[in-house]
Amino acid sequence: MSTARTNIDFDRSGKQTGFIDIAHSPHEDAWGATRIPIAVIRNGSGPTAILQGGNHGDEYEGPITLGELIRDLDPGRVEGRIIFLPAINTPAVLAGRRTSPVDGLNLNRTFPGNSRGTITQQISAYVSEVIFPLGDAYLDLHSGGSSLMILPSAIIDPAPTPEHHRRNVAAAFAFDAPLTVVIDNLGEPRTSTAAAVRAGLTTVGTEMAGAGTVTIEALDICRKGVRNVLGHLGILPEAAKPPESKERKLLRIPGSEGFVLATVNGVFEPFHALGAEVHAGEAAGRIHNLADPARAPETLHYAADGIVYGRRQPGRVVAGNCCVTVAGKYEGELG
């Protein structure tokens, strides 16, 4: 049984802001708690959307967007319920880190969690066991974080049935990002979106630029996209729809072939800009050993056709770091 508790009444109408408190007893605090902000806006009898940001603490567009909505949204405009988790991995958000400084874990690799585990495992367990059962749809707002710059996009997580896949595709298209990308994280089942799909929720993810900073264009896309999805769900008045003739760019990271990983330690020199068309076998960049200038750099190659979807931000790499991500044309059914 979890020690998590909250002062929020999920069934009350109006706007509430508060915290989820999870008992935490480090050396500095005998009977304290990790406090995770939460807000709920409820009005009428429509569906429930769960909006989450701060899954990784160095990804900022989502938390900014959700904080603005919490402050500015008039409950009278809502038809249904919105549950906001704007900084779900609060220890990581406060530290500006991908992983938690408390237990070193990546929240997005701990679902469905453990209510008796570490702080990060207890957070994912609370979302899985308490929040997901309340929802109809789930939007998890990510960016590239400190180590990647990614083309702004809405993300589709694979679903087990055609009907569920159709829901996910429709909601991702409603977000109306410049790109929509199918990402299965190489079949990783411990992400929040994979867990939300297993729970039956209409699920959308995002990647909103990154590089450990706030990108003006990506933040604008995020602000509009969240409202678009809420309109699509019938929770907010729907924004003007794009013309039916608008071209939809639907891509997919093609498994392990879509990732160019560092083979040695050094400094990575990329050969292509984000969005550039590339081909399997083509040189992606090279890694320099700056302390041994007589040594020739190590050249990396693409293993798939597509466009440069994500690119490493820090120049320094160690073997195994993701240097470039390629996304190619999606060949599957849209549902």
User: How would residue 334 be classed by pLDDT, with cut points 50, 70 and 90?
Assistant: low
User: Is the confidence at residue 192, as pLDDT, over 90?
Assistant: yes
The Cα 203–Cα 164 span in angstroms is 9
The Cα 215–Cα 223 span in angstroms is 12
User: Is the confidence at residue 243, as pLDDT, over 80?
Assistant: no
pLDDT, position 3: 82
The Cα 17–Cα 23 span in angstroms is 20
pLDDT, position 2: 75
Burial letters for 156-193: b for 16+ Cβ neighbours within 10 Å, e otherwise?
bbbbeeeebbebbbebbbbbbbebbbbbbbeeeebbbb
Please provide the average confidence, as pLDDT, over all residues in the chain. 95
3-state secondary structure of 202: strand
User: Which single residue is written with the structure tokens 């320094």?
Assistant: 316
State the DSSP string of 14-65. EEEEEEEEEEE--TT-TTEEEEEEEEEEEETT--EEEEE--SSTT--HHHHH
Burial class (CB in 10 A: 0-12, 13-18, 19+), 293: exposed
The Cα 195–Cα 170 span in angstroms is 19
> Tell me: the pLDDT tens digits for 84-106?
999 999 999 999 999 999 999 99
User: Is the confidence at residue 190, as pLDDT, over 70?
Assistant: yes
> Tell me: the pLDDT tens digits for 254-294?
999 999 999 999 999 999 999 999 999 999 999 999 999 99
The Cα 322–Cα 83 span in angstroms is 34
Share above pLDDT 70 across residues of the chain, in percent, rounded to a whole number:
96
Angle between helices 216-232 and 162-175 (to 10 degrees): 130
> Tell me: the pLDDT tens digits for 10-35?
999 999 999 999 998 888 888 899 99
The Cα 250–Cα 261 span in angstroms is 24
pLDDT, position 239: 67
pLDDT, position 16: 98
pLDDT, position 26: 86
The Cα 97–Cα 89 span in angstroms is 10
User: Is the confidence at residue 332, as pLDDT, over 80?
Assistant: no
Query: Which alpha helices (DSSP H) does the chain contain, by range?
Result: 61-72, 90-95, 119-126, 162-175, 192-198, 216-232
User: Is the confidence at residue 142, as pLDDT, over 90?
Assistant: yes
Omega before 160 within 30 of 0, i.e. cis: no
Averaged pLDDT, 30-45: 95
Domains of the chain are 5-251 (3.40.630.10), 254-327 (2.40.50.100)
pLDDT, position 333: 67
User: How would residue 249 be classed by pLDDT, with cut points 50, 70 and 90?
Assistant: confident
Share above pLDDT 90 across residues of the chain, in percent, rounded to a whole number:
90
> Tell me: the pLDDT tens digits for 201-234?
999 999 999 999 999 999 999 999 999 999 999 9
User: Is the confidence at residue 335, as pLDDT, over 60?
Assistant: no
